[in-house]
């Protein structure tokens, strides 16, 4: 059975399974077997949310992941660490108006379809 470590960051509760450590030549090293579980939705039923796995349950005895009940969807906290991306698309726009007027090409541009 693996231990689940809970911690709080920026007012939200998160969970992870720490990596195991071992000794090699008198030095303590860690294996790369830690698992990030994500936001804690329900601590008693081991329901978590992460962007990689979406909404899921974790069983520490068998080390398995399962899908969670849809009733927990309303409990998912907003992730306010990242701002939403603003995408402005002007398509194929050209800003030559000032250049064209200063070079004397007014007549050519007005007759161009």
Write the secondary structure of the chain as one string of H (helix), E (strand) and C (coil): CCCCEEEEECCEEEEEECCCEEEECCEEEECCCCEEEEEEEECCCCEEEECCCEEEEEECCCCEEEECCHHHHHHCCCCCCCCCCCCCCCCCCCCCHHHHHHHCCHHHHHHCC
Q: How confident is the model at residue 112 (pLDDT cuts 50, 70, 90)?
A: very low
Tens digit of each residue's pLDDT (9 = 90 or more) over 16-61: 999 888 999 999 998 888 889 998 998 888 999 888 888 899 998 8
> For position 70, what pLDDT does the model report?
79
Tens digit of each residue's pLDDT (9 = 90 or more) over 72-89: 777 776 666 566 666 666
> For position 74, what pLDDT does the model report?
72
């Amino acid at each position: 059975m693996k231990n689940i470590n809970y911690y709080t960051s920026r007012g939200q509760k998160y969970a992870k399974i720490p990596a195991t450590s071992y000794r090699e030549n008198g030095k303590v090293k860690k294996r790369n077997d830690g698992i990030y579980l994500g936001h804690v939705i329900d601590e008693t039923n081991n329901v978590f949310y992460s962007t990689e796995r979406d909404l899921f349950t974790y069983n520490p005895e068998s080390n398995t992941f399962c899908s969670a009940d849809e009733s927990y969807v309303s409990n998912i906290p907003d992730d306010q660490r990242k701002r939403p991306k603003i995408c402005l698309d002007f398509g194929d726009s050209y800003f030559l108006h000032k250049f064209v007027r200063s070079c004397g090409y007014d007549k050519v541009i007005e007759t161009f379809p």
